[in-house]
A and B are shown apart, each in its own frame.
Chain A
């Protein structure tokens, strides 16, 4: 966008070139050139060489072009000195009194400069002023190497494309490792190869109880039932574990867990945020789309394509329309005043582009809004071209038939039945009716009904026409008159009309989608729903529009010889959308010359993080130069290639990971190996992981026996709800407290990895929250019958339900001791059912245990 005025020559040539061109390339271009210009410049140059260079180098350079460049003000070269900043020029040539640089150094304006040091001596300030008055000439840059070092970030080069994540997937074959009984899948070969390099041995395979608990929590976010555990323990087939994984992969509970991770990335909520935080009552269909897509193992490329442009790619599919909720899931300002309309819309476009970038490509595109990305090869131009994709994209609520296939079938069934009814009438009309009409006419009848009836008069006239002169039209008129009074025909005709009323109507539901050419959801705004054009903005500033941006893709992920046009989609005739988003979706999923390889890497890394706690790339939403490098790049590419090879189905990748030894090893820690690899980046042990907010609550509900497994549909803010936590309504101003306590995101920006904090308010909730209390009560109710005969049995049962194992003798004794003493206390307090109360307390303690929420 803003290339520096074209001076990229050797240092010596720089000055003369600048001297001759500055009048036309600087903000001072309009100022008349002083008649003494040459003499002043020459004097200024002397001043620069004798004093100013030293002053600038000593006091200013570090922060302005040396070590860093603060305030985007770089004074290494005269070019940079004269570049306009955010708030206009820093130096007005010939006019020190109007130059920001001088005014700040002289402490006439804030911020005073130098920023964190004493004011310069008056003499130095005067010299800077005089130098500016003389045209601020340089003999050479303050730093010799700067010109060579300065990179024009608006151009993306092949060197930029050679960064690891921008490269196509490597043809990665599992490394050969020494014969090793531990290795179970190709994944393990990659892991062992790295461990061997460091001389680290992985942990042994965990016992079956740990395995089923681990796998069940990972895939479903719920504990295994005692029955499931027993079945696994008793299954001695060699592939018993694989069978468990396969069973879990088909559980509808899986979508309910894994959709939540994607909701985090999609900053999903069911309200608009801001001033009034109006509800989005029909936004939950996006959440339902995710659950269905994951459960059905929708190919990931389709999953992505539909979220970006499902309305264009498969308008006949309700699921594809629901998927577009992704783009519109962000906040939407309401009560927008006239001066804010543009800003709010650019913010909204930024939200769509930035979220697409982080969620799907692991790229921080949003950083390029105000300047070429400081670290990644994403020029500002690319940012605005990506943003322009969404220029006319808005949220809308449409009436949608959620079951078009069913509607189609019902319609076909009806049509068939209806045809029969109609046929019966037709048969009568062609077979019987003509004879009846003939006999009726032959009987020389009077018209039916009241003689004064106008129609009766007309019919009488027709009847009087001799039969040989009667025209076919007259016969039709008489027939249709007669049949209205013919009971047999009437009955058949009535049957047709009655049956018509049974025609199936599609059950239309309001659904929030994101599309174009549809009525936008609109709340008090003093402007339009979108801006007709997206402009390049200099420094992200609306006051500095620089031409219209047309939709395009990131150059660094563009290897097509025909450029952006390669993915461009032309809207078919008659559609109301621009197909710009289809173009973006084409590029995102293109393995050959587009972004497909990065898309695949990012998603398999997210899966790895979901199963191992830490991604192969530890910064799951930053695959750029500032992100972490992959710990196992070959493995990452292997998994990404497997994904593509499997038709982008994710479930086989889950299975590949979970059936590996690296997944099945124990969590045992070890000081020596920790010393070598403290982060466990090489995966020599199973990490100890705390369940996230939803899984903690869902697990408590499950063991309490109160979990309502109803899927889909509108959520609720009612904390006493008994469905899984993914069905809480997410209202930005009323987030569910228990979820927030355990680090659920606040749904404002996409989040690729949650924290797992430990603070007292979490404990407070677990010991006092009425909901948690009710879960404990539910669990106690389940084991109370056993307690009536044997307290030990009740405790064992509670342990099996919560922790999937029986208590050891210490635990059993401790719990029994407690039950006795606690029941005694309640009895002393005069409580009605002391044992039940004591049991409830013990059950609540089990729900609070580390072992209940930390899965190893």
Chain B
């Protein structure tokens, strides 16, 4: 029986092959790509890109190579999680004077101030206040850089999701994961560069759907690969049952042979040899991706650390563990959404903040803490930037008719860990009741600028020319929050 050549070397003519290896080897990508990093002057709308996913260096050297973005979908409440407000407890039940009733989504359900139903306690070296719903995360506060003063511009889920993902509340712009892979390529061509995972419990995908990991006007290859919640995680990975591995290999060998024959007639067409190589990459991806996503290969101890077999958090634990396996293998950008689409199926606690948030905290607290522990113990935390936030915060007032909170664009908390962030940094403030960011406010543009900076990208120089304009993730704004950079 034939042994499948899992890592078959590409069958290319010698010259082409030498060129290919040379180009791949120096990390400069298979072809110089006009319009990529640092070449604004040469940026053209019309460039034909050949393997735009080949790794390329950033504008400057930094520690972070990969990103894991833990997205608490629906808008977690800052005052019930990280942003401790004793004054809010004091004013519990009192009206909030001057409140604009159009701030939230339910303009007719404006109630008085409501204290957090959760107890807070101080943790870590600098006595960071953490809500009781995050007992495991509380042990990691010394690793975190926390920004309390984030804000956004809209009070509705999908525009806010678009804004935090793409920098614009309108549809149609590339998301951060796409910009990062456009800027840096990816280290492992056998795996997707940018992976997105959403709720696997059938509670829906984030509002705004795949646009949240879309590429906008960037080439389609930078689009996030969303793992299917059911069935094969990635489309087209499974060769099916008709052909054995040997039979498929033989088929690909025929293809390579015929393609090479044709290539000899067009020796100077680089695209053609790149395309020949892409079939070999595909063949390898077919093997590599299932392996990378197979958490059963992890030790029992690791599985337990994440809570893989825990009823409450097992699904999210699996995704966090997959994320670690992916970044370990050179995947550039991973984004995991906690919670599904509709109201109480996500962190969107309109009716009962206590039940909603304690429930979702139980799904995420242990896996996230485990991810930080695991990354650290493997020496990966330094080169992996972990981000955690949601699309907006929640109001300090109660939403009438229940014990929940409505949307609040004026304040939310983001924490960063690893990847060159300053562990223990605390940045920005909200007002006494946690309604609005008031000191050292961090816009989404600032947040994006900071993340790009941590990855070695100058956000003002990462541009893409489209319809006559050089676009940026940060549009015409954005300041790196240096205080959270080590």
B65 within 8 A of partner (CB):
no
Residue on B with the closest CB to A115? B479
Q: Mark B241-262, 1 if CB is under 8 A from A, else 0.
A: 0111011101111110111011
* Partner among A338, A622, A735, A811 whose Cβ is within 8 Å of the Cβ of B467: A622
Listed by A's residue number, 6 A-B pairs whose Cβ atoms lie within 8 Å are: A340-B154, A340-B156, A746-B214, A757-B219, A757-B221, A768-B238
Of the candidates B48, B223, B225, the one having the most CB atoms from chain A within 10 angstroms of its own CB is: B48
Contacting residues of chain B (155-206) with chain A, CB-CB under 8 angstroms = 155-159, 170-172, 189-190, 192
- In angstroms, Cα B159 to Cα A461, docked, is 81
Q: Mark A100-128, 1 if CB is under 8 A from B, else 0.
A: 00000000001100010000000000000
- In angstroms, Cα B239 to Cα A837, docked, is 14
Contacting residues of chain B (37-85) with chain A, CB-CB under 8 angstroms = 44-53
Contact (Cβ within 8 A) B255 A849? yes
Residue on B with the closest CB to A363? B468
- In angstroms, Cα B266 to Cα A730, docked, is 37
Closest Cβ of chain B: how far from A304's Cβ, in Å?
Answer: 19
Chain A residues within 8 Å of B189, by CB: 760
- In angstroms, Cα B223 to Cα A743, docked, is 10
A599 within 8 A of partner (CB):
no
- In angstroms, Cα B310 to Cα A464, docked, is 103
Chain A residues within 8 Å of B237, by CB: 764, 768
Closest Cβ of chain A: how far from B125's Cβ, in Å?
Answer: 26
Q: Mark A749-775, 1 if CB is under 8 A from B, else 0.
A: 111110111111111111111100100
Of the candidates A742, A837, A845, the one having the most CB atoms from chain B within 10 angstroms of its own CB is: A845
Residue on B with the closest CB to A739? B220
Chain A residues within 8 Å of B47, by CB: 755
Contact (Cβ within 8 A) A688 B479? no
- In angstroms, Cα B47 to Cα A667, docked, is 19
A471 within 8 A of partner (CB):
no
B contact face: mostly helix, strand, loop, or mixed? loop
Chain B residues within 8 Å of A732, by CB: 171, 209, 211
Residue on B with the closest CB to A339? B102
Chain B residues within 8 Å of A741, by CB: 220
Contact (Cβ within 8 A) A848 B279? yes
Q: A622-B45, A755-B220 are in contact. Are A274 and B276 (CB under 8 A)?
A: no
Q: Mark B288-307, 1 if CB is under 8 A from A, else 0.
A: 00000000000000000000
Contact (Cβ within 8 A) A274 B159? yes
A479 within 8 A of partner (CB):
no
* Partner among B172, B240, B466 whose Cβ is within 8 Å of the Cβ of A768: B240
Contact (Cβ within 8 A) A338 B102? yes
A744 within 8 A of partner (CB):
yes
Q: A740-B223, A752-B467, A814-B257 are in contact. Are A764 and B285 (CB under 8 A)?
A: yes
Closest Cβ of chain A: how far from B32's Cβ, in Å?
Answer: 12
Contact (Cβ within 8 A) A333 B159? yes
User: Which of A1-9, A170-178, A480-488, A815-823 lies at the binding interface?
Assistant: A815-823
Chain B residues within 8 Å of A688, by CB: 266, 269, 271-272
- In angstroms, Cα B466 to Cα A627, docked, is 10
Closest Cβ of chain A: how far from B451's Cβ, in Å?
Answer: 17
A621 within 8 A of partner (CB):
yes
Contact (Cβ within 8 A) B286 A850? no
A367 within 8 A of partner (CB):
yes
B281 within 8 A of partner (CB):
yes
Contact (Cβ within 8 A) B278 A759? yes
Closest Cβ of chain A: how far from B444's Cβ, in Å?
Answer: 15
Contact (Cβ within 8 A) A110 B441? yes
* Partner among B244, B251, B281, B466 whose Cβ is within 8 Å of the Cβ of A829: B244
Contacting residues of chain A (329-374) with chain B, CB-CB under 8 angstroms = 331, 333, 335-340, 347, 358, 363-364, 367
Chain B residues within 8 Å of A762, by CB: 278, 282
Contact (Cβ within 8 A) B254 A845? yes
Contact (Cβ within 8 A) A755 B219? yes
- In angstroms, Cα B259 to Cα A110, docked, is 58
A718 within 8 A of partner (CB):
no
Closest Cβ of chain A: how far from B277's Cβ, in Å?
Answer: 9
Given contacts A755-B219, A768-B239, 7 further A-B contacts (CB under 8 A): A358-B467, A619-B44, A688-B266, A760-B285, A818-B253, A825-B246, A844-B251
Chain A residues within 8 Å of B159, by CB: 274, 333, 340
- In angstroms, Cα B471 to Cα A32, docked, is 44
A442 within 8 A of partner (CB):
no
Chain A residues within 8 Å of B269, by CB: 669, 688, 854
Contact (Cβ within 8 A) A850 B239? no
Contact (Cβ within 8 A) B217 A758? no
- In angstroms, Cα B248 to Cα A483, docked, is 87
B122 within 8 A of partner (CB):
no
Contacting residues of chain B (107-159) with chain A, CB-CB under 8 angstroms = 107, 154-159
A250 within 8 A of partner (CB):
no
Chain A residues within 8 Å of B276, by CB: 850
Q: A339-B155, A364-B467, A619-B468 are in contact. Are A848 and B255 (CB under 8 A)?
A: yes
A737 within 8 A of partner (CB):
yes
Contact (Cβ within 8 A) A749 B220? no
Closest Cβ of chain B: how far from A303's Cβ, in Å?
Answer: 21
B26 within 8 A of partner (CB):
no
Residue on A with the closest CB to B172? A748
Residue on A with the closest CB to B242? A837
Contact (Cβ within 8 A) B254 A740? no
Of the candidates B190, B209, B259, the one having the most CB atoms from chain A within 10 angstroms of its own CB is: B209
A614 within 8 A of partner (CB):
yes
Closest Cβ of chain B: how far from A463's Cβ, in Å?
Answer: 74
* Partner among B207, B244, B251, B271 whose Cβ is within 8 Å of the Cβ of A275: B207
Chain B residues within 8 Å of A770, by CB: 240
* Partner among A758, A767, A773 whose Cβ is within 8 Å of the Cβ of B271: A758
Contact (Cβ within 8 A) A748 B216? yes
Residue on B with the closest CB to A674? B268
Of the candidates A277, A363, A821, the one having the most CB atoms from chain B within 10 angstroms of its own CB is: A277
A273 within 8 A of partner (CB):
yes
Q: A748-B171, A760-B285, A764-B286 are in contact. Are A733 and B210 (CB under 8 A)?
A: yes
- In angstroms, Cα B4 to Cα A825, docked, is 14
* Partner among B49, B192, B247, B261 whose Cβ is within 8 Å of the Cβ of A761: B192
A255 within 8 A of partner (CB):
no
Contacting residues of chain A (656-674) with chain B, CB-CB under 8 angstroms = 667, 669, 671, 674
Contact (Cβ within 8 A) A110 B214? no
Chain B residues within 8 Å of A814, by CB: 254, 257-258, 261
A694 within 8 A of partner (CB):
no
Chain A residues within 8 Å of B12, by CB: none
A796 within 8 A of partner (CB):
no
Chain B residues within 8 Å of A818, by CB: 250-251, 253-254
A624 within 8 A of partner (CB):
yes
Contact (Cβ within 8 A) A274 B208? yes
Closest Cβ of chain A: how far from B263's Cβ, in Å?
Answer: 7
Chain A residues within 8 Å of B441, by CB: 110
A841 within 8 A of partner (CB):
yes
Contact (Cβ within 8 A) B209 A277? yes
- In angstroms, Cα B281 to Cα A760, docked, is 6
B378 within 8 A of partner (CB):
no
Q: A274-B159, A340-B155, A758-B50 are in contact. Are A669 and B255 (CB under 8 A)?
A: no
Contact (Cβ within 8 A) A763 B282? yes
Contacting residues of chain B (215-241) with chain A, CB-CB under 8 angstroms = 215-217, 219-221, 223, 225, 235-240
Chain A residues within 8 Å of B217, by CB: 749, 751
Residue on A with the closest CB to B158? A275
Chain B residues within 8 Å of A837, by CB: 242
A532 within 8 A of partner (CB):
no
* Partner among A333, A619, A624, A674 whose Cβ is within 8 Å of the Cβ of B46: A619
- In angstroms, Cα B450 to Cα A471, docked, is 101
Contact (Cβ within 8 A) B236 A769? yes
A826 within 8 A of partner (CB):
yes
Chain A residues within 8 Å of B50, by CB: 757-758
Of the candidates B266, B441, B467, the one having the most CB atoms from chain A within 10 angstroms of its own CB is: B467
Closest Cβ of chain B: how far from A528's Cβ, in Å?
Answer: 15
Closest Cβ of chain A: how far from B76's Cβ, in Å?
Answer: 19
Chain A residues within 8 Å of B259, by CB: 849-850
